[in-house]
Structure 1
Amino acid sequence: PITTIEKHHQRQKWVTKTRKRKKYIEIILELIHNPGGVVCHYHITENVKMKRVKDDFAAKMEESVRLCRFLSDGKRIEDNDTAIALALEEGDWIEVYETMESG
């Protein structure tokens, strides 16, 4: 028979195995071609879609997300990209350029 101490030990093992901490990384966004070079810090999980970050950043800057180009290592960031897909690490920079709208 299993004693209460062993049962508790087994239950504790099970709990620690099933708990999984989400890994958060800090991504720094820098708005280029803006007086003062606005910088925003984001703490996101590795699997967050960049659309959420882009939309939030554009809202903070009171800009349309259509008028912003987001680049990581010179490559354009798509809405469905994640930090994992872009190989972003803690402290990486994403550059944001404002584009001109022609009409």
Structure 2
Amino acid sequence: MKRKSNTIELSVRDLQTKAKEKPTKTTRKDSEIDYSEIPKFSPKQLAKFKRPGRPILGETPRKAVSIRIEEGVLKKLKTRAKKQGVAYQSLINDILKKAV
């Protein structure tokens, strides 16, 4: 390893040695972490938090499903949804709701 001003030149051997070195990353259990310096949230701050995940659309929550749709049909649905300014999943939901 040679040092020139602010740059370091490494040989292939130096690079191979560095690659073999184990990382010094340490992991800790949650029970070992000191949370005492973290301030508590006030009720006002907690009220600003939002629940993660997608918002409920419509009267009832939606259920995630996986279906196989022909590529051409899906392309047409996406085009139609884009024209209507809605997500294609919402369009599919509306079509199925009317059909059943």
Comparing both structures, which one devotes a greater share of its residues to strand? 1
**Fold match, TM over 0.5?**
no
TM range (shorter): under 0.3
User: TM-score, normalised on structure 2?
Assistant: 0.25
Which of structures 1 and 2 has the larger relative contact order (alpha carbons within 8 angstroms, sep 6+)?
1
User: TM-score, normalised on structure 1?
Assistant: 0.25
